Amino acid sequence: MSRDVTSSTLDGACALVTGGAGGIGASVAAALAEAGARVVVLDREAEAAEKVAADVGGHAEVADLTDPDDLAAAVDRVEGRLGPVQVLVNNAGAQHVAPVTELDPAHWQRLHDLMLRAPFLLSRRVLPGMYAAGWGRLVHVSSVHGLRASAYKSAYVSAKHGLEGLSKVIALESAGTGVTSNTVCPGYVRTPLVEGQVADQAREHGISADRVVDEVLLARTPVKRMVEPEEVAAAVAWLCGPHTASITGSAHVLDGGWTAT
């Protein structure tokens, strides 16, 4: 299905959102559905995925993104039911905090499998259909940690840096095909993942959660508030919409000015 810059909605495009059962992913699913997409919420949490899918009038698909065979089978089911994926949002993520000297290699591998290998495998799978249609959108939810580093987050930071590189390579290879690839790089977003980090830091430092947000998480951020999931979703939806054919290979930062310091 070819589209042009005058199209105002996604008008029936099949949009696959990984990690769509909560947080940023659920907000992205809602934003894409509002734009007219047929949204597939792909997550390992079946009940939560079904709820989000029902809320947005979409479809739920359950898979373990760290298992290549399970992931491939899930895409087969999606495309068998809805046709080729035309919008791919690689959003699923996780975090593990530990010094490099103490980080279990299994945790390192799991985060890379989830946040780098899975986006590669999904992109590799859906790109031929996008090329054939002459249109497609890949948006990878990266992080300010795809551009900056923080101590004790080597697995997460390196995976997100790798995701930035993967997106740029896809952008170069797909140039002129009608397919674009971009990243969205938020700072700390108000999600269960970050709220868990806040609670952990509060216990570790013996301070309140509010002080953790102000003095630890946002210490390097001029705008002293966390990003809301809906803000990230709006950026993702915009990158999938009209007038974005020339926007590819770029990182769109929502970090309250962190990277400007």
What are the pLDDT digits (tens) for 24-71? 999 999 999 999 999 999 999 999 999 999 999 999 999 999 999 999
Low-confidence spans in the chain with pLDDT less than 70: 1-8
154-173 vs 105-112: helix axis angle to the nearest 10?
30
Name the residue among 132, 53, 127, 135 with its Cα closest to residue 90. 127
In angstroms, rounded to a whole number, what is the distance separating the alpha carbons of residues 137 and 114?
A: 20
Q: Has this prediction a pTM greater than 0.85?
A: yes
Name the residue among 130, 118, 49, 150 with its Cα closest to residue 87. 130
For residue 60, the model assigns a pLDDT of 98
Q: Which residues are catalytic?
A: 156
Helix (H, G, I), strand (E, B) or coil at 136: strand
Provide the token pair at 10.
């996604």
Rg (Cα) of the chain, in Å, rounded?
18
pLDDT in tens, 73-85: 999 999 999 999 9
For residue 2, the model assigns a pLDDT of 52
Residue 140 DSSP label: E
Provide the token pair at 5.
């810059």
Give the distance, in angstroms, between the CA of residue 204 and the centroid of all CA atoms in the same chain.
29
Helices (H) and strands (E) in the chain, counts: 9, 7
Superfamily covering domain 14-187+228-255: NAD(P)-binding Rossmann-like Domain (3.40.50.720)
For residue 203, the model assigns a pLDDT of 86
